[in-house]
Homo-oligomer: A and B are copies of this chain.
Amino acid sequence: MSYGVTMSRATASARPPGRPRSGVNAVVFAATLRTVHELGYARATVDRIAAAAGVAKTTIYRRWPSKGELVVDCLLDAFGPVPLEGTGRAELMASAIRWIAAKISEPGVGDAFAGVFSDAVSDPALREVLAARLQEPYRVALHEALGEPDGRVLFFIDVVVGTLLHRLGMTGEPMVDADVAELVEMVVPHFGGDTGTG
């Protein structure tokens, strides 16, 4: 579930007073992806998501300040941490590219990603949330794993994610494996990873 996870009430004053929140976050996330998958981002209204989750709309707005932040949390939950388990630089980058391509191909995930990204273009507040909560953790992880300077990592993310989202947005379909493979063959050598020649 990615965030907070109560710290087993050890740190701060035991537990806040009042009726505790029911554990429906996961249900709401699932309903969000399902609704976005079935209706597209724009028609996946908060009313419909709430109905699909069997929850009142006000409950959603009590937990997330906007539809955009709900979707960002939903994507955080759907993505999870990057698997960075390759032995060499090349394998590491290639597996990261294939991982994000596969995630974006999952039903609802790519649409939700493209949709919230779109909203963020003309909503600076949401853009900061998107950059800080969704992009930053992966940027840090890649920075440490690859040893590349920040600017290069951001460029790497722009190329990989930008390409995948542009394909999805233009065609309505996620990028096929052959093209993902070509993306790997283009990007990895540029970043100094051997792709099989030594």
Seen from chain A, the residues whose Cβ lies within 8 Å of a Cβ on chain B are 40-43, 111, 114-115, 117-124, 127, 130-131, 135, 151, 155, 157-159, 161-172, 175, 179, 182-183, 185-187, 190
Contact = CB atoms under 8 A, between A and B. Distances in A.
Contacts of A41: 121-122
13 contacts: A115-B121, A121-B169, A124-B172, A155-B183, A158-B163, A159-B162, A159-B163, A159-B183, A161-B166, A162-B163, A162-B164, A166-B166, A186-B190
Given A42-B122, A111-B121, A186-B159, A166 B169 contact: no
Given A155-B179, A166-B165, A121 B122 contact: no
Contact of A169 (B40, B43, B120, B168): B120
A121 B114 contact: yes
Contacts of A185: 190
Contacts of A122: 40-43, 111, 115
Nearest to A43: B122
Residue in A40, A41, A121, A167 whose Cβ sees the most chain B Cβ within 10 Å: A121
